[in-house]
Amino acid sequence: MGCRVVHFEVHAADTQRAMKFYESYLGWRFQQFGDQPYWLITTGDADSPGINGGLLPRRGDSPTEGSAVNSYVCTVEVPSLDEKLAALSSQGGKLALAKMAIPGIGWLAYGVDTEGNIFGMMQSDPQAG
């Protein structure tokens, strides 16, 4: 058996801006970890599949627009990909890769958050294709 991903981290030049984006866009909740510049992320209900993560200040430059992906990309499950894509720019995000079918699985698109991080969004749909 392999090793499972159990935690993820979002690096942000402006942690407050990043938290505002993810709170309003994906409904994530944040709680500061002690007095550290680190916030625990709760992505959903404990009885739902998925993992939680953390947010911390970025050490170094933010990714430049159009640069190659150089990290793991986390993908979140969304109930309606079309609705999320329609709201992306109003929340300060950008489209990185347009909606595409993953046959027999669902619909996938990639966005860019306010900090230049790429993230995926997947809507389950076995009829996609």
Judge whether 52 and 43 are in contact, CB under 8 Å.
yes
Instruction: Give the model's pLDDT for residue 43.
Output: 97
Q: What is the pLDDT of residues 35-86, one digit of tens each?
A: 999 999 999 999 999 999 999 999 999 888 888 888 889 999 999 999 999 9
pTM reported for the whole predicted model: 0.89
Please tell me the distance from the alpha carbon of residue 41 to that of residue 53, in angstroms, as a whole number: 5
Phi, psi of 35 (to 5 degrees): -105, 15
**Which CATH class for the 8-58+71-124 domain?**
alpha beta
**Residue ranges of domains in the chain:** 8-58+71-124
Q: What is the pLDDT of residues 71-128, one digit of tens each?
A: 889 999 999 999 999 999 999 999 999 999 999 999 999 999 999 999 999 999 999 9
β-pairing, 29-32 vs 53-57, is unpaired
